[in-house]
Amino acid sequence: MNNRDEILVTGAAGFVGRETVRHLLAKDWHVRGLVRSEVRKESAPHARLSLHKVGDISAISNWSLLVSGCRVVVHLAARAHKTGEFPDASQALFRRTNVDATIALARVALAAKVKRFVFVSSAGVMGDFSQRPFTEADLPQPASAYAMSKWQAEQALQDICRQGAMELVILRPVLVYGPGNPGNLERLMRLIKTGMPLPLASVDNRRSLLNVGHLAAIIAEAAQLPAAAGKTVLLADGNDVSTPELLRAFAEGMGVKARLFPMPSSLLLTMARLFGRSRDAERLLGSLQVDTKLKTELFGAFPRDATIRGLIETGRSER
Give residue-wise pLDDT tens across range 232-277: 999 999 999 999 999 999 999 999 999 999 999 889 988 888 888 8
- Reference 208, options 265, 267, 260, 286; nearest CA is 286
- What b/e sequence results for 173-194 when a residue is b if at least 16 CB atoms lie within 10 Å of its CB, and e otherwise? bbbbbbbebeeebeebbeebbe
DSSP 303: P
User: pLDDT for 105-118, tens place per residue?
Assistant: 999 999 999 999 99
Domains of the chain as residue ranges with CATH: 6-179+208-237+289-300 (3.40.50.720), 184-205+241-288 (no CATH)
Q: Is 207 helix (H, G, I), strand (E, B) or coil?
A: strand
pTM of the predicted model as reported, rounded to 2 decimal places: 0.94
- Per annotation, catalytic residue among 15, 29, 146, 151: 146
**Cα angle at 75 between 152 and 25, to 5 degrees?**
160
Q: Is 113 helix (H, G, I), strand (E, B) or coil?
A: coil
Strand partners for 210: 176
Active-site residue flag, 146? yes
Q: In the structure, what pLDDT confidence band is assigned to residue 84 with cuts at 50, 70 and 90? A: low
Output the pLDDT for position 313.
97
DSSP 131: S
